[in-house]
Amino acid sequence: MDNDFRMSLMEHLSELRSRLLKCMGAVLVLGVVALVFARPIFGVLMRPVLDALPPDGRALVYTSGIEEINVLMKVGVYCGIFLTTPVILWQLWGFVSPGLYPEERRYASPFVFLGSLAFLLGALFCYFAVLPSMFQFLLNEEESTATAQRLEVGRLRADDALRFLRIGEAERAGKLALEASTGLKESGEGQVPEASRAPSEKVELEARLSGLGLLIDAAAVGFSSPPARLALRQSVEKRAEAVEAFAKEDFGVSARAMDEAASLLAGAAPTRAEELAGLWRLEKELALGKARYVAQAWTRPMLTMDEQLSLVLLLILSFGIIFELPLVMALLGLVGIVKASFLMKYQRHAFVVCLIAAAVLTPTGDVVNLSLMAGPMLLCYEMGVLAVWIIERNRKQDPNVGITPTGV
């Protein structure tokens, strides 16, 4: 190695400052460009969060007038850092290259390309594999989510049954109602927990009133004879009584009035009485299931834009850096800072450190998300050890490849 490559401490610091300024300048320029697209980028970043929220609550809130602007500026800054990854890696290589032989400096382009690719793969792995499962675990309880899914399927089947009743196919309507009712019973949509029965009773009766209205509307088609029209009117009047009792919170009277209204409706159409009774049972079971769901899901997430963005960006950048680990270890091995024997000797200690780091970075306590963080970290460490070992083996085979004693 030529003495021209010798550098004093001040020269090293000056070189470091120059390269840091270049990196900051690249982040600033690319960050300003990213600000133009900050809002759609923010929407893409928040998609795993929004997909984990209930369909009627997929929104983020902001708690101050400038929070939204701050969030968009943060998106621009982090996008600038993300896009500047090749520049940062190039400047890092330029800083350590004076300590390498010319044969080793030819790895500059592969180092920058593989480093950028590794960072991108880490970010994509986090976005598609880690974030969806993590937010599903954080924002949804397994039991209440399963209950909501069963109720949604039951409601769809009930709506189809009412449509068949409306077009005069009562037998098909009764069959669909029986299938939906059987599915709810098999899934365990039983009684509402005792501790939450009182606050859930109102929810249940409100759902019953809505279901009874749908049933009356569907059954009214074809009621042309005077007795049938009279029975239909009496049924509607009974439902009105049920509404009045519900408004006065006389829930017992309201429930009896609804049952009487359903009986009058079935009596008005003797040929469809069995199907109408089955549809009414289904509406009552759906109402009870809704009350149970409300009792289970008594908390609602209200997520702020800034907090969720910070969490998502932290995890994406963490995984990007984790996937850079083999390349960084290879670079350290190339300049002679670490040895493969040292890395293998303290391999167990490194595993423990990786598990602790994964537990700290992972905001959930479940095994799945912890494994998704710790697994790639351990794999990247092993790849780094292998890369250092290959570099050392190549040095032994070619004495011209090695660390110069007069380098950095």
pLDDT in tens, 4-21: 445 666 777 888 888 889
Q: What is the pLDDT of residue 280?
A: 93
Instruction: Give residues with Cβ within 8 angstroms of 233, minimum separation 6.
Output: none
Q: Are 309 and 42 in contact (CB under 8 A)?
A: yes
Q: What is the pLDDT of residue 16?
A: 82
Domain parsing of the chain, residue ranges = 9-140+304-397, 142-297
Residue entry with tokens 């794999």 = 379
Instruction: For residue range 101-152, list pLDDT tens digits in order.
Output: 676 677 777 878 888 899 999 999 999 988 998 888 888 766 667 777 788 8
Q: What is the pLDDT of residue 111?
A: 78
Between 97-101, 230-234, 309-313, the lowest mean confidence (pLDDT) is in 97-101
Name the pTM for this structure.
0.67
Give the CA-trace dihedral at 49, 53, 55, 61, to 10 degrees: -70
Query: How far is Cα 214 from Cα 96, in angstroms, rounded to an integer?
Result: 75
DSSP letter at 192? P
Radius of gyration of the chain from Cα atoms?
Answer: 33
> What number is the average pLDDT over the span 168-191?
77
Q: Residue 195: is its pLDDT beyond 60?
A: no
More confidently predicted of 106 and 193: 106
Instruction: For residue range 29-58, list pLDDT tens digits in order.
Output: 998 999 999 999 999 999 999 988 877 778
Instruction: For residue range 369-380, list pLDDT tens digits in order.
Output: 778 888 888 899
Backbone angles phi, psi at 338, to 5 degrees: -120, 155
More confidently predicted of 196 and 326: 326
Alpha helix stretches (DSSP H) within 36-141: 38-45, 47-52, 67-83, 85-96, 102-105, 108-125, 131-139
3-class state of residue 404 by DSSP = coil
Q: What is the pLDDT of residue 190?
A: 44
Q: Residue 226: is its pLDDT beyond 70?
A: yes
Q: What is the pLDDT of residue 245?
A: 92
Percent of the chain with pLDDT over 90: 21
Q: What is the pLDDT of residue 366?
A: 67
More confidently predicted of 307 and 106: 307
Q: What is the pLDDT of residue 196?
A: 41
pLDDT band at 187 (very low <50, low <70, confident <90, very high): low
Q: Residue 326: is its pLDDT beyond 70?
A: yes
Q: What is the pLDDT of residue 365?
A: 60
Q: What is the pLDDT of residue 193?
A: 42
Q: What is the pLDDT of residue 3?
A: 46
Q: What is the pLDDT of residue 213?
A: 92
Q: What is the pLDDT of residue 197?
A: 41
Tally: H helices and E strands in the chain: 19, 0
